[in-house]
């Protein structure tokens, strides 16, 4: 009996230690003096590269505000390290602690919530279809027999296949390693359409050589909450991040940050994405929450 109790106690201590180590971002950054932000190279106006190791975007800036409060909690100035992540590796890198906060274009859904946590929703996305303006494609049905690009590790084509109007539509998927690569498939003619978050499509079109050559068409495939991603089971950091976003909403600062990145000309090409704040995003801000995409799909 004693052996069993001793074994149980050792196991409990080991488990507790592992949980403590995995779930205290504030203590971790205080000890290391640095915080690692996961960023994206081509996630539209949410997160993108400016070149020379510099980044910008709506979620990038929101994360800077969260990190400012993280520094206050840690009681010290932190070195901010930027790590470019992809749709494939972003979740594992948050899970294993390589990335402390992921500031890209990640959909908050029930499956992902089993592995990571999400800050309250900062943007609600509509998944759409981009094509060349002269393609003649205007809806899902016209994708039959076509090559459809999407980015590896994303959910967009799954949503397209599940859409009620896609029944009987047979298309071939072609994959880009990131959003810029997927847009290149469309640009070069290797794909007839690119299915992705509307703002990513708009952002890539706005920064293309000839924006007038492309258009966003067809039905809205889904409405999804996009959020900043952090380590699961870290209540202190989750509260800090949630409270930061809630304060930005309350003061009107989040609306100003949104306007800066979506409605004003942005670097490096001084182009404008031109996506006004949607009613669904306004609704998410009105009652801040971290509900997954499945809740948005309910009628």
Cα–Cα distance, 202 to 215 (Å, whole number):
9
Query: 285 and 151, same structural domain?
Result: no
Query: 147 and 118, same structural domain?
Result: no
In a domain, 2, yes or no: no
Residue 3 has pLDDT above 50, yes or no: no
Query: 209 and 131, same structural domain?
Result: yes
Mean pLDDT, range 86-100, rounded to an integer: 96
Contact 25, 230 (CB under 8 A): yes
DSSP 188-234: TTS-SEEEEEHHHHHHHHHTSS-GGGEEEEEEEEEEEEE--EEESS-
* pTM of the shown model: 0.78
Report residue 166's pLDDT band, with 50, 70 and 90 as the boundaries: confident
CATH of the domain at 72: 3.40.190.10
Structure-block tokens of residue 36: 């690692």
CB environment 259-285: b (16+ within 10 A), e (fewer)? eebbeeebeeeeeebebebbebbeebb
Contact 45, 58 (CB under 8 A): yes
Q: Which domain holds residue 26?
A: 20-122+227-297
- Give the bridge partners for 223, in sequence order: 126
Give per-residue pLDDT as tens, 217-257. Answer: 988 888 889 999 999 999 999 999 999 999 999 999 999 99
Structure-block tokens of residue 184: 């290149």
Report residue 164's pLDDT band, with 50, 70 and 90 as the boundaries: low
Query: 265 and 209, same structural domain?
Result: no
Pick the last residue of a domain from 203, 224, 245.
224
Cα–Cα distance, 40 to 49 (Å, whole number):
7
**Counted domains in the chain:** 2
Position 10 scores a pLDDT of: 41
């Amino acid at each position: 009996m004693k052996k069993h109790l001793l074994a149980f106690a050792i196991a409990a201590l080991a488990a507790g230690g592992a949980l403590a180590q995995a779930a205290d971002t504030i203590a971790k950054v205080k000890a290391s003096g640095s915080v690692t932000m996961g960023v994206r190279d081509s996630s539209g106006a949410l997160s993108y590269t400016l070149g020379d190791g510099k980044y910008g975007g709506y979620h990038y800036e929101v994360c800077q505000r969260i990190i400012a409060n993280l520094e206050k909690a840690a009681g010290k100035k932190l070195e901010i390290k930027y790590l470019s992540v992809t749709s494939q590796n972003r979740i594992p890198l948050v899970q294993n602690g390589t990335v402390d906060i992921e500031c890209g274009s990640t959909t908050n859904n029930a499956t992902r919530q089993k592995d990571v946590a999400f800050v309250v929703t900062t943007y609600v996305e509509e998944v759409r279809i981009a094509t060349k303006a002269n393609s003649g494609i205007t809806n899902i049905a016209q994708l039959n027999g076509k090559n459809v690009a999407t980015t590896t590790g994303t959910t967009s084509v799954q949503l397209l296949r599940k859409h009620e109007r896609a029944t009987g539509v047979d298309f071939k998927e072609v994959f880009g390693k990131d959003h810029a690569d997927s847009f290149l498939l469309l640009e070069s003619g290797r794909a007839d359409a690119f299915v992705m978050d509307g703002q990513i499509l708009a952002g890539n079109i706005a920064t293309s050589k000839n924006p007038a050559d492309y258009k966003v068409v067809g039905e809205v495939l889904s409405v999804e909450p996009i959020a900043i991603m952090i380590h699961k089971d870290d209540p202190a950091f989750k509260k800090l991040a949630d409270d930061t976003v809630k304060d930005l909403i309350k003061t009107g600062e989040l609306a100003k940050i949104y306007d800066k990145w979506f409605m004003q000309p942005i670097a490096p090409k001084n182009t404008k994405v031109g996506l006004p704040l949607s009613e669904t995003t306004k609704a998410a801000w009105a009652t801040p929450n971290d509900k997954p995409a499945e809740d948005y799909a309910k009628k």
